Each structure stands twice: as structure tokens, then as C-alpha cells.
Amino acid sequence: MEINELKETGTQIRKDIVKMVNVAGSGHPAGAMGLADIFAVLFFSGLMKLDPRNPSLAGRDRFVLSNGHTCPGLYSAMARRGFFPVDKLWTLRELGSPLQGHPHRTALPGLETSSGPLGSGLSQAAGMALVGKRENKKYKVFCVGSDGEHEEGNWWEAMMFAAKYKLSNLIVIVDRNNIQIDGFTKDVMPLDSLKEKYQAFNWNVQEIDGHNYFEIMHSIAVAKESSDKPNAIIANTIPGKGVSFMENKPQWHGKPLSNEQLEKALEELEQDG
């Protein structure tokens, strides 16, 4: 896809997210909307090797969503890419639906892991990357995680593990949106400077605008060429991106839209698209 098409896809993902959480009456829209551009690049640009017709392809790249509550964005990207029918999106969080509030590995084709406990996704991704290294596989392992997950000790243990084993096939995209369920990260637990912390742990680090498609694509391309260290891409994003009354508001971390709010949100996103 060209960048203009990727942008349209990112907007479509945002539309899907606000609709999904409205229909469900619960969910986590803000972080998912902030990651929509990254989901669009990963699933539609060709930089991440996947095949929805053969989701278990041996040579596929692996994708791990560590901050599993942002799964409405992941579900939208997967459905729009052809992993499952789009109409399933409107069953988010229904009893018996394969689209639960956190991804379940066996529920949908193309899901590599189950998400839930924050901070654990990087350990899962590092394990996959280690196997790939030891078996001389060419696949890359992509892991998307949140800035708030850096409050979990497990995340830092995985960072040390990845550096020790020089997991250059591991690409971590950190959603630096500065919010979490209890408020702003700077108030809950200050994290700056994440870039310097990753460098101190012996990682390759890039810092980008998580809504700039050129920067997203370029940073991933650079990381894919790494041969000596694990790779971190710190993506500065806006939670609730695209809807003025949601942007940078911690209260939208885990709050669905009312019917009136949905109408306003879709109107703004239509203009953005």
C-alpha cells in the first residue's frame, strides 16, 4: 500500500474501534486509537511478513500484542486484512465471541499469544526470537507494548534477556502515549528517559512520531537490518487520536462511547479520512 492508502486504513481502524466499544458497552478505545497507524503499517505495508490465507506459515513473522487491552485495533487490522470476516468485529466482548477483551491465542487465526497480564508480552516475544536465532530462522518477532507496562519488573527482565542473547530479530514498538488507567504516567510512575534506559540496557533505539507513516515505516525497515542487538522503537502517540474530545484524556483509557459520542467521533474521523 502507498502511504495515502495506509492513512485511510488507519482512519478505518479508528472508526471500527469506536463502533466496537460502543456496541460492546465496554472496552479500551484510547490506546487502540493511538496505535491505529502502527497497526495499519504492520498489517498492510508488507514490512511484517504474513499471509491471512495461511496464518500458520512457517516463515511468517511473529506478532505479539503485550498491551492486550488495545486489541480492538488489532482485531480491526486483522479483519480488514482478511484473517476473519469484518462482521465479527461487532461481537467484541460478547459471551462466546472469539473477540474477547484480551486476545486468546486459539480463538482467531493469526494470533500468536494470549494477552492479559501487563508486562508479559515482551518475555513471550523474546522467547520466540531466541528460538528463531538458535534455529537460524529468518522470521522477525514484532512486539507492541505500552509505556505503562514499564512499571512491571517482568518487562525489564525481558529487556536484559534480549540483550544478553543479542536478539536482533526482535523489534519492540513502545506505545508512548503517556496515559494509563490511573492517569498520566508522569504522575503514576515517571518513565523518562525511555530512550536512554533502553540504550543503557544495550538495545538499538529509535524514537519516532507514531502517527507519521514515513517515520513508522523507516524505523521498522532500519530495525529489520539489525544484526547485533534487540531493537526498540519508541513511538510517541496521542491516545484517542482523531477524536478531539478523546485525545490525551486518561478517562478514555477504558471507557466506551455513548451513541451521541459515537456519532460525533465518526463525524470527526470522516473529516480526517
Q: What is the pLDDT of residues 34-82, one digit of tens each?
A: 999 999 999 999 999 999 999 999 999 999 999 999 999 999 999 999 9
Q: Is the pLDDT of residue 117 over 90?
A: no
Q: What is the pLDDT of residues 127-141, one digit of tens each?
A: 999 999 999 999 999
Mean pLDDT in residue range 231-239: 98
pTM > 0.85: yes
Q: For the chain, count helices (H), then strands (E).
A: 10, 7
* Percent of the chain residues past pLDDT 90, beyond the cut: 97
Q: What is the 3-state secondary structure (H, E, C) of 183-246?
A: EEHHHHCCCCCHHHHHHHCCCEEEEEECCCHHHHHHHHHHHHCCCCCCEEEEEECCCCCCCCCC
List all residues 6 or more positions away from 133 whose beta carbon is below 8 Å from its beta carbon. Answer: 165, 166, 167, 169
Q: Domains of the chain (ranges plus CATH)?
A: 3-272 (3.40.50.970)
